[in-house]
Amino acid sequence: MTGQRPQRTRREQTRLTSDYPSVSTGQLYRQGRPIEQPPLLFTDVGPPQVEAALLARADHVECRAFFHDDRGRPTRNDFTVDVTWRAIENLPDAGGGVRPVFHCCSCDGTFRTLFFVGMTLMCRKCARLTYPSQHRRRPSTLERAEEIRLQLGGEPSVWAPFPPRPSGWSEERYERARRREEMWRHRAMMRALSVGRRNLPGTRGEAPAAARVD
């Protein structure tokens, strides 16, 4: 419990995949061979903004890229990304049963998508990017209680009287909503109490000491 707060701070500092330009093998290879005229990528998500001409070969991709800084000034970097062909598991008869994967220049792992980070292309992990879905916050217990009150057409505040049964709601449905609201409100109160107790003078030193035992 006590470790949750610093973890959230660290998460907020992480960078998201959606903020960085990327390239996937599907953009460069089709049906087991390189696309003859692969796309000229210009990606204005950023940082960094990237303009890249990619030429797909059987065993590597030639990349000529301009990375633009905050003021739009380009820095050119030419490099190659190694490509190998992997058997497609569970799909033995699809297009010869192999598909291309990129080698990450940093860890040499194989991936179908790489990201333009630090003037080159690397995998999501080496680029230290996380998926936006990993940051979707679950509603708090208090928010869940408030949500139920709003559904009933009442005030969201848990201090307001519980809203009366809306027309069209059966007695049973209303009762279920009331019990759920009571459960979430109770949990919110218990949580508020335990946080309050942890911050009381004299108990502060005890909590970390107890946590260190396990």
Q: Which residues bind Zn ion (CB under 5 A)?
A: 104, 106-107, 123, 126
Distance in Å, CB of 74 to Zn ion, minimum: 25
Question: Which one, 122 or 188, has the nearer CB to Zn ion?
Answer: 122
Question: Which one, 123 or 188, has the nearer CB to Zn ion?
Answer: 123
Distance in Å, CB of 95 to Zn ion, minimum: 26
Distance in Å, CB of 115 to Zn ion, minimum: 10
Give the residue among 157, 153, 162, 211 at the shortest CA–CA distance from 188. Answer: 157
DSSP 8-state secondary structure symbol assigned to residue 71: T
In 32-89, which ranges are E strands? 33-34, 40-43, 49-56, 60-68, 74-87
Question: Which one, 19 or 69, has the nearer CB to Zn ion?
Answer: 19
Residue 12 to residues 6, 68, 115, 121, 137, Cα–Cα distance (Å): 10, 25, 20, 24, 11
Rounded Cα–Cα distance for residues 5 and 11 (Å): 10
Distance in Å, CB of 4 to Zn ion, minimum: 29
Question: Which one, 58 or 107, has the nearer CB to Zn ion?
Answer: 107
Structure tokens at 1: 């419990």
